[in-house]
Amino acid sequence: MLLVLGVLAGFAVLASEMPRAVAWPVAGLAVLNGLWLAWVELRRPRSRFVFAGQDAPVEVDGRKVQEASVTWRGPLAFVRWRESDGTRRRLAWWPDTLPPAARRELRLAAPVRRAAPKAASVAT
């Protein structure tokens, strides 16, 4: 996807009203940047999540983490957690990066957020 976006960025620069002497080098740089980003993302290691149960700690790449939460916004999935050193991390999945079977597994395995207790009404 990043490769396609890089190529489209190159075409967008060429379609703009930028002078041709500047547009061609900028378009080439946009395509090269798309290639580089695609290569970096392809080499990025995959993370492994283990949701053992409601009370068990969540593990990311074999390390226990705190405050792990999964939120859904339509078809997008977001996982947020805090490492043992206090660093906050997050990952997001688009529908094309998380297959349907893995998406269902994440929905079923992720800890469910408990609703906050209702506060008593101030008005009587």
pLDDT at 16: 93
Domain ranges of the chain: 2-43, 49-109
Beta bridge partners of residue 54, listed in sequence order: none
Which of 102, 86, 91, 48 lies closest to 69, judged by CA?
A: 91
Rounded to 5 degrees, φ, ψ at 17 are -90, 20
Q: Using a cut of 0.85, tell me whether the model's pTM lies above it.
A: no
In tens, the pLDDT along 79-104 reads 888 888 888 988 888 887 788 888 88
Tell me if 76 sits within 8 A of 93, measured CB to CB. Answer: yes
Residue that wins the pLDDT comparison between 63 and 122: 63
Which of 91, 74, 70, 90 lies closest to 82, judged by CA?
A: 90
What angle in degrees, to the nearest 10, is found between the helix axes of 20-43 and 2-15?
A: 170
Which H or E run contains 70?
A: strand 63-73
